[in-house]
Amino acid sequence: MTVEAKPRTSPSEDVGPRISTSDEEAVPPNAGMRFTNWGANYIDERTGLSGLVRELGRKIFPDHWSFMLGEVALYSFVVILLSGTFLTFFFQASMAEVTYEGPYAPLKGIDMSAAMASTLDISFDIRGGLLMRQVHHWAALLFVASIGLHMLRVFFTGAFRKPRELNWLIGFVMFILAMLEGFTGYSLPDDLLSGNGLRIIDGMVKGIPIIGTWTSNLIFGGEFPGTQVVGMFYSLHILLVPAILVAAIGVHLVLLVVNKHTQFSGPGRTNDNVVGVPIMPVFAAKAGGFFFLIFGVITLIAATVTINPIWLYGPYDPSPVSAGTQPDWYIGFADGALRLVPPGWELEIFGFTLSLNILVPLLVLPLFLVAVAIYPFLEGWITGDKREHHMTERPRNAPMRTAIGSAGVAFYAVLWAAAGSDLIATHFKLTIEGVTLAIQLLLFIAPIVAFFVAHRICIGLQKKDREIALHGFETARIVRLPGGEYIEVHEQLSDYERWKLIDFTAYTPLMLRPNKRGRIPVTQRVRAVLSGWFFEDRITPVTKREIESAHDQGGH
Partner 1 sequence: MADTGSDHGTAVVKREAPVPSTGTAVVPSDAIENPGFPPYRPRVSDLDPVKARQNERRVSWLFWLSIAGSIFAIVAYIVFPIVPGDLNSVRLNTLFLGIGIALGLFGIGFGAVHWSKSLMDGHDLVEARHPTRGSEETREKAVEVFHLGNKESGFTRRKLIRNSLIGALVVSPLPAVVLFRDLAPAGDPVARLKHTLWDKDVRLTRDPDGTPIKASDVTLGSVFHVIPDGLNDMHEGKLEEKAKAAVLLMRLKPSDLNVSQGREDWNFEGIVAYSKICTHVGCPVALYEQQTHHLLCPCHQSQFDITREATVIFGPAKRPLPQLPITVDNEGYLVARSDFTEPVGPSFWERL
**Residues in 201-230 that interact with partner 1 by CB under 8 A:** 202-204, 206-210, 212-214, 216-226, 228
CA distance 144 to 136: 13
50, 66, 357, 492: which one binds partner 1 (CB under 8 A): 357
- Residues binding partner 1: number (CB under 8 A): 157
DSSP state of 25: P
DSSP state of 282: I
50, 81, 98, 104: which one binds partner 1 (CB under 8 A): 104
48, 342, 482, 484: which one binds partner 1 (CB under 8 A): 342
SS3 476: strand
DSSP state of 268: T
Q: What H or E segment, with its residue span, contains residue 111?
A: strand 111-113
**Residue 277 touching partner 1 (CB under 8 A):** yes
44, 71, 165, 385: which one binds partner 1 (CB under 8 A): 385
In angstroms, give the least distance from the CB of 48 to partner 1: 21
**Residue 499 touching partner 1 (CB under 8 A):** yes
CA distance 204 to 259: 41
| Sequence-distant (≥ 6) Cβ neighbours of residue 24 within 8 angstroms | none
| Sequence-distant (≥ 6) Cβ neighbours of residue 198 within 8 angstroms | 187, 224, 225, 229
CA distance 189 to 183: 12
* Beta strands in 100-200, from DSSP E residues, in sequence order: 111-113
49, 56, 432, 479: which one binds partner 1 (CB under 8 A): 432
**Residue 310 touching partner 1 (CB under 8 A):** no
**Residue 90 touching partner 1 (CB under 8 A):** no
CA distance 197 to 181: 14
- Please report, as residue ranges, which positions from 46 to 75 form the binding site for partner 1 (by CB under 8 A): 58-60
Residue 230: Cβ-neighbour burial (10 angstroms; 0-12, 13-18, 19+): buried
Q: What H or E segment, with its residue span, contains residue 30?
A: none
CA distance 437 to 341: 10
CA distance 258 to 85: 32
29, 250, 296, 554: which one binds partner 1 (CB under 8 A): 296
Q: Spell out, one character per residue from 436 to 475, where the chain touches partner 1: x when CB under 8 A holds, - when not.
A: x---------------------------------------
In angstroms, give the least distance from the CB of 364 to partner 1: 13
**Residue 549 touching partner 1 (CB under 8 A):** no
Cα 256–chain centre separation: 16
Contact by Cβ (8 Å): 171, 252:
yes
- Please report, as residue ranges, which positions from 502 to 521 form the binding site for partner 1 (by CB under 8 A): 502-503, 505-510, 513, 515-516, 521
In angstroms, give the least distance from the CB of 270 to partner 1: 6
Q: Spell out, one character per residue from 407 to 426, where the chain touches partner 1: x when CB under 8 A holds, - when not.
A: --------------xx----
CA distance 230 to 536: 54
Closest CA to 311 of 139, 86, 110, 87: 110
As beta bridge partners, residue 112 has 98
In angstroms, give the least distance from the CB of 212 to partner 1: 6
- Please report, as residue ranges, which positions from 526 to 545 form the binding site for partner 1 (by CB under 8 A): 531, 535, 540-545
CA distance 19 to 126: 55
In angstroms, give the least distance from the CB of 527 to partner 1: 9
**Residue 525 touching partner 1 (CB under 8 A):** no
**Residue 35 touching partner 1 (CB under 8 A):** no
> Which among 29-37, 38-46, 152-160, 255-263 is the span making contact with partner 1, rule CB under 8 A?
255-263
**Residue 300 touching partner 1 (CB under 8 A):** yes
- Please report, as residue ranges, which positions from 122 to 181 form the binding site for partner 1 (by CB under 8 A): 123-128, 130-131, 134, 163
**Residue 121 touching partner 1 (CB under 8 A):** no
For partner 1, the closer CB: 243 or 432: 432
> Which among 66-74, 266-274, 400-408, 457-465 is the span making contact with partner 1, rule CB under 8 A?
266-274
For partner 1, the closer CB: 46 or 545: 545
Render 512-542 in DSSP notation, one character per residue. P---TTS---HHHHHHHHHHHHHHSS--PPP
